[in-house]
Amino acid sequence: MSNCVIKWGEFMLIALHKDNSICEEKFSSEQKTLYEHDFYAWTKEQSDILQSRRFAHLDISNLIEELESMGRSEKRELINRLTLLLGHLLKWVYQPERRSNSWLATIEEQRAEVLELIEDSPSLKHQLDHQFEKAYTKAVLFAVKETNLPKSTFAAQSPFSLEQILDRQYLPE
């Protein structure tokens, strides 16, 4: 490839001879797509291609990968928000003498964030029951770390219902 020049093509780096013919010297195994080289530029390019309706130029395989990743990310965020909410509710119950405005604000904030996630992505509502169980398991670990209480202190199943934790007025005693 010593007599080749590397340039950006529409989607990837390409190797060209001085006469602009494509180098055949195993460059394909070494080429780096814009997706791999500069993700932000790739997203802007894909957006531009979509807006100009040049669908044949889309980087389909990487678009599919990113769309699937976005869905997983939304689900992870739901679990993380539920975990923080449940963890603070557990702290609220098991350490009443340490209750604070900070805990209360976190409970209110995480509750609002969960509700907003569901409002923005209504299909996540169908995930709530299953994710609630996962989040409770993680919340127990969070509460153990935060309270220094033994794991056996906390119930194996959530003492709170999904309806309770999403109720803006609910605080356990």
Query: For position 3, what pLDDT does the model report?
Result: 56
Q: pLDDT of 82-98, one tens digit each?
A: 999 999 999 999 999 99
Give the span between the Cα atoms of 115 and 147, in whole angstroms.
27
* H or E element at residue 34: helix 34-37
Q: What is the mean pLDDT of the chain?
A: 86
pLDDT of residue 7: 47
Question: Domain segments of the chain: what residues?
Answer: 5-57, 72-166
Question: How many angstroms separate the CA atoms of 124 and 67, rounded?
Answer: 15
Top-confidence residue, 129 or 21: 129
* Backbone dihedral angles phi then psi of residue 72, each to the nearest 5 degrees: -65, -40
Alpha-helical regions (H) of 99-127: 101-120
Average confidence (pLDDT) over 56-78:
90
Q: Tens digits of per-residue pLDDT, 108-122?
A: 999 999 999 999 999
How many whole angstroms separate alpha carbon 140 and alpha carbon 159? 11
Closest CA to 36 of 72, 1, 65, 57: 65
Higher-confidence position of 92 and 54:
92
Reported confidence tier of residue 134, pLDDT bands at 50, 70, 90: very high
Say what the pLDDT of residue 37 is. Answer: 84
Q: How many CB atoms lie under 10 A from the CB of residue 82?
A: 27
| Nearest residue to 146 (alpha-carbon basis) of 86, 105, 65, 76 | 86
Tokens of 36: 């791999």
Query: What are 5's strand-pairing partners?
Result: 16
- Spell out the residues 6+ positions from residue 78 whose beta carbon is closer than 8 angstroms to its own: 114, 117, 118, 124, 127, 128, 131
Give the DSSP H or E segment for 16. strand 13-16
